Chains A and B, each alone.
Chain A
Amino acid sequence: MENKIYGLLAEFDTTTEIVVAAEKVRDAGFTETDAFSPFPIHEMDEALGIKRSILPYVVFAGGIAGLILGLGLQYYTHVIDYPIIVGGRPHFSLPAFVPPAYEMTILLAGFAAVFGMLFMNGLPKPYHPVFNVPRFNLATREKFFLLIKADDPKYDYEETKAFLESLDPQEVFDVDE
């Protein structure tokens, strides 16, 4: 029975080899790519042409939202809904409002960082086709894998496979959908 192909996976033995290969893949114009390694490779983002994440802006927006929410909550409770004098201070005493507002800023920025990261990484993901390749388990130990997905505009089974073979990998696998 013919299976649908998710993409092509090339296996490499060292960081240097996969970074060099990734640069060639990027220069060949492939965009739907991914790399898997047992530890972070600093050069990989640039080698694969991965764009900078927008996560920092999401975190900043989360922080601002927390700040406004924190100040707003205190303003509503202390000034509008139930104004009472505490410690001889005015109803709207900004210095006393700062610590809770600050905590809300940190809280929502933290939430934005964690959940934004999970969302942008597409996690949680219970199924991923690369695990159909038995040797892929080595990605958590000693091998490095480079993936070109079938939905890449430049993808063509025969040509891409020949191209990956030319990058001098240890082996190229078909990844079943």
Chain B
Amino acid sequence: MANDTFKAPESISRLSNLFLGVGGIFTLIWAVGCYTDTENALRGWLLGYIFWAGIGFGGLGILLLQYLTGGAWGVVIRRVVEACSRTIPLLALLFIPIGVGVKYIYEWANLPDDKFVAARGIYLEIPWWGGRAVLYFLLFGLMAYLLNKWSRQQDNAASYEEAAMHLGTATRFSGPTMVIFVLLVTFLSVDWTMTLEPHWFSTMWGFLFVAGWGLSCFCFSVAILAYLHDKAPLDRVLGKRHFHDIGKLMLALVMVWAYFNFSQYLIIYSGNLTEETPYYLVRSKGGWGVMGLLLIIFHFAFPFLILLMQDFKRKAKWLAALAIFILFMRLVDMYYIIGPSPRIGELKLHKLEVAFSVTPWDFVAPIAVGGLWLWWFFRELSKRPLVPHKDPFFENAIKHGKGH
């Protein structure tokens, strides 16, 4: 096994091309929408972007996390989340429509004289908002670049000591970087999603996205690993034990997501303040209320109860099916945040009831962004060995893989 290259199977390249086709076609359809229905098309793009970027940025977070905690799950998941983190340059490109169309998505960009917006000063003006976006991509890009560089050097390491040295570097880097990562996601999620409601605020927001994006990335990685687990070369690496471990972490993240969401709700419910309650008033009436209920049941209760079962977590295909279902609910969750937020010109109306609506662009744009993102992801995944086979813990991580 020492000389094995663990090269990705051929089908990965075919998938990559397939997704480029799907992404390309849907991006063209979406581009038409930009002319005919600009506001809705851009809001749809934001939905798709926040969902898929969550997997990409989440990948970077999980990469940092697995260096910090160690463990067999981290060794087998590392190359998948590394490929996720290498999509950050593409995510910077895909952000351009949001940056350019900022006045069509965010009401605050049109209301510099609004009392609340004015009070936020230069922080919530387009140049500094855009400058922060550039800063996020530069810092995330730097983190991803360094971690991927050390990982490649480890693959080329001539000796065990050299491989261990690169692992040590990455581990030492991950500690402080994790703190910066969480802070960046907090600022980023406030900039890109919370400002959709410029009169509203929540101190749980950053954690909601850290947990939610971590969950997104975990579910995505489970789906990818389950696809690869019965094909060469990973059929000799992945075992029930690994899926069991990753399943347990999925359960933890499902609970953390629910915990943060409920905390936010309980704080606003107990506080009962005029500035805060409209967010949930709007989201608990009519179609949005039904959607919220569905989120509680299918984003939390159902996956939670299923993931309590040990046998379920040990079956790769079953776990992957649930993971894809949770990913879909992640998209619904993002729509629950973005969908009811005030449209351009509606902020002053202070609506306490918003009719449920969904436009075709809320389907087209996520598929467009997803196609392009998956194309890039699979291309990056096939570039490197599918497991860090020189890692000092690799042999240990795959031992007993089949039995346990």
Contacts and interface: CB of A to CB of B under 8 A. Distances in A.
Given A42-B400, A42-B404, A87-B272, A95 B308 contact: no
B381 to A, nearest CB: 32
A88 B272 contact: yes
Interface string A136-163: 0000000000000000000000000000
A60 B308 contact: yes
Interface string B262-280: 1001100110100000000
Interface in B302-339: 308, 310
A87 B270 contact: yes
A13 interface: no
Nearest to B259: A102
A118 interface: no
B284 to A, nearest CB: 11
Contact of A98 (B262, B308, B400, B403): B262
If over half of B's interface residues share one DSSP class (helix, strand or loop), that class is named, otherwise mixed; here it is helix
A43 B270 CA distance: 51
A90 to B, nearest CB: 11
A96 interface: yes
Contacts, number: 22
Given A42-B404, A98-B262, A99-B266, A56 B310 contact: yes
A60 B310 CA distance: 13
Nearest to A86: B270
A95 B265 contact: yes
B259 to A, nearest CB: 9
Contacts of B266: 95-96, 98-99
A36 B403 CA distance: 22
Contacts of B310: 56
Interface in B386-404: 400, 403-404
A99 to B, nearest CB: 7
B269 to A, nearest CB: 5
B403 A95 contact: no
B270 A96 contact: yes
B272 A96 contact: no
A156 B7 CA distance: 58
B41 to A, nearest CB: 36
A22 to B, nearest CB: 15
Contacts of A88: 272
A154 to B, nearest CB: 28
Contacts of B403: 43
Nearest to B400: A42
A60 B309 CA distance: 11
A93 B270 CA distance: 10
A40 to B, nearest CB: 12
A32 B400 CA distance: 28
Contact of B269 (A56, A60, A96): A96
A87 B404 CA distance: 53
Interface string A75-102: 0000000000001110001011011000
Interface in B240-286: 262, 265-266, 269-270, 272
A95 B269 contact: yes
A15 B270 CA distance: 58
A167 to B, nearest CB: 22
A98 B269 CA distance: 12
Interface string A19-47: 00000000000000000000000110000
B296 to A, nearest CB: 11
Contacts of A43: 403
A47 B404 CA distance: 13
Interface of A: 42-43, 56, 60, 87-89, 93, 95-96, 98-99
22 contacts: A42-B400, A42-B404, A43-B403, A56-B308, A56-B310, A60-B308, A87-B270, A87-B272, A88-B272, A89-B272, A93-B269, A95-B262, A95-B265, A95-B266, A95-B269, A95-B270, A96-B266, A96-B269, A96-B270, A98-B262, A98-B266, A99-B266
Given A42-B400, A96-B269, 18 more contacts: A42-B404, A43-B403, A56-B308, A56-B310, A60-B308, A87-B270, A88-B272, A89-B272, A95-B262, A95-B265, A95-B266, A95-B269, A95-B270, A96-B266, A96-B270, A98-B262, A98-B266, A99-B266
- In the A-B complex, list the 4 residue pairs whose CB atoms are closest, starting with the nearest: A95-B269, A95-B266, A42-B404, A88-B272
